[in-house]
């Protein structure tokens, strides 16, 4: 009994203290994974806030963006141009989704829109594979997957670049939301779409913008994750990790998506490395869901769930 308590509550921390450099490496790995989850969750949050649609296809959008990027690169298109073209494709996709999915279904029940995004999910999956093929591809954007050492801590260049890019993207998005006319309109629509309409904000434009932004976020997520572990179908499954992130962070909270992603990313890596051996590993596979479940029971609105302002 004492042994178990020791193994669970003491030994892992002794290990951490014993080799701080290794702990830092584990943490960095966690931050990297966490930022990827955050990015995918962010895509969900944006769309959910602006249109109340739970976008089941967010994960496939990541895959689709990565497939498009790889496809272009494989055909010899230079990196910068390929990125620009992929962005154009994602924006075109946003227009198409507004025109052919959202507009005809406006004023329908949320569940119907949700089902429409399930349809979108399968369409994009098939369409992406039809265009670019189904085999695993390597995404090479010219950043080497090698490490350098700072004070005994190994740092992977690719992961570092990814983390910095993600942080930059999030900062830009926050500024876009806070400071620009369109960003303000987006928040207005999220708050009260009927009032937004009443002062002349066109919902169609807002939807296109929001899906485009979600598309760009998907590109960045697909780029980083794809560069790390190749572009393949399983890429779309990181969306499954975004769900617990959303439960943790709150469905409508941008900071929540970011912090939630980091908590889950770091938590599962640390759990895996230090506690994994005790239970035979694979903590990474279920950690997020157990944490989300605990949150659902204790704080269903999430860490940053937007306060509902009540007044008479």
List residues binding another protein (CB under 8 A): 107, 181, 184-185, 187-188, 190-202, 306, 309, 311-312
For 154, residues 6+ apart whose C-beta sits below 8 A from its C-beta are 25, 147, 148
Residue with tokens 């994750």: 225
Phi, psi at 23, each rounded to 5°? -60, -45
Q: How far is the CB of 188 from another protein (least distance, A)?
A: 5
**Residue whose CB is less far from another protein, 193 or 228:** 193
Cα 71 from Cα 46, distance rounded (Å): 27
- Following CA atoms 206, 212, 216, 217 in sequence, which dihedral angle do they give, to the nearest 10 degrees? 50
Among 129, 87, 124, 114, residue whose Cα is nearest residue 232? 129
Q: How far is the CB of 312 from another protein (least distance, A)?
A: 7
Cα 59 from Cα 203, distance rounded (Å): 24
Q: How far is the CB of 106 from another protein (least distance, A)?
A: 8
Q: How far is the CB of 182 from another protein (least distance, A)?
A: 9
Cα 178 from Cα 117, distance rounded (Å): 28
Residue with tokens 């704080």: 299
Provide the sign of the torsion angle of the four alpha carbons 149, 155, 157, 160, taken in this order.
Answer: negative
**Residue whose CB is less far from another protein, 14 or 103:** 103
**Residue whose CB is less far from another protein, 99 or 187:** 187
Q: How far is the CB of 194 from another protein (least distance, A)?
A: 6
Q: How far is the CB of 250 from another protein (least distance, A)?
A: 13
**Residue whose CB is less far from another protein, 79 or 201:** 201
**Residue whose CB is less far from another protein, 115 or 188:** 188
Q: How far is the CB of 214 from another protein (least distance, A)?
A: 20
**Residue whose CB is less far from another protein, 190 or 223:** 190
**Residue whose CB is less far from another protein, 167 or 188:** 188
Q: How far is the CB of 201 from another protein (least distance, A)?
A: 5
Q: How far is the CB of 103 from another protein (least distance, A)?
A: 12
Distances (CA, A) of 262 to 167, 187, 219: 12, 24, 19
Cα 247 from Cα 94, distance rounded (Å): 26
Phi, psi at 105, each rounded to 5°? -105, 10
| Full DSSP string of 136-201 | -B----S----EEEETTEEEEHHHHHHHHHHHHHHHHHHHHHHHSHHHHHHHHHHH-HHHHHHTT-
Among 70, 66, 51, residue whose Cα is nearest residue 215? 66
**Residue whose CB is less far from another protein, 73 or 113:** 113
**Residue whose CB is less far from another protein, 108 or 234:** 108
């Amino acid at each position: 009994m004492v042994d178990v308590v020791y193994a669970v509550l003491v030994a892992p921390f002794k290990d951490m203290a014993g080799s701080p450099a290794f702990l830092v490496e584990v943490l960095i790995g966690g931050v990297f994974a966490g930022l990827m989850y955050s990015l995918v969750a962010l895509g969900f949050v944006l769309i959910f806030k602006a249109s109340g649609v739970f976008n089941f296809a967010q994960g496939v959008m990541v895959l689709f963006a990565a497939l498009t990027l790889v496809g272009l690169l494989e055909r010899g298109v230079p990196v910068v141009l390929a990125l620009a073209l992929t962005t154009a494709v994602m924006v075109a996709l946003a227009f198409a989704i507004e025109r052919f999915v959202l507009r005809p279904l406006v004023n329908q029940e949320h569940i119907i829109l949700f089902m429409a995004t399930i349809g979108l999910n399968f369409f994009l999956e098939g369409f992406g594979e039809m265009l670019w093929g189904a085999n695993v591809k390597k995404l090479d954007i010219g950043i080497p997957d090698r490490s350098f050492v700072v004070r005994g801590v190994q740092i992977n260049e690719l992961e570092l670049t990814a983390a910095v890019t993600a942080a930059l993207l999030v900062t830009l998005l926050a500024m876009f939301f806070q400071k620009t006319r369109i960003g303000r309109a987006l928040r207005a629509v999220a708050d009260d779409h009927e009032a937004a309409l009443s002062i002349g904000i066109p919902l169609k434009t807002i939807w296109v913008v929001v899906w485009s932004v979600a598309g760009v976020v998907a590109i960045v997520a697909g780029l980083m994750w794809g560069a790390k572990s190749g572009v393949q179908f399983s890429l779309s499954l990181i969306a499954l990790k975004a769900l617990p992130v959303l439960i943790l962070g709150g469905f409508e909270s941008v900071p929540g998506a970011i912090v939630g992603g980091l908590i889950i990313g770091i938590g599962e890596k640390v759990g895996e490395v230090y506690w994994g051996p005790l239970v035979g590993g694979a903590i990474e596979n279920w950690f997020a869901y157990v944490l989300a479940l605990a949150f659902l029971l204790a704080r269903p609105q999430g860490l940053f769930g937007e306060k509902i302002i009540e007044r008479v």
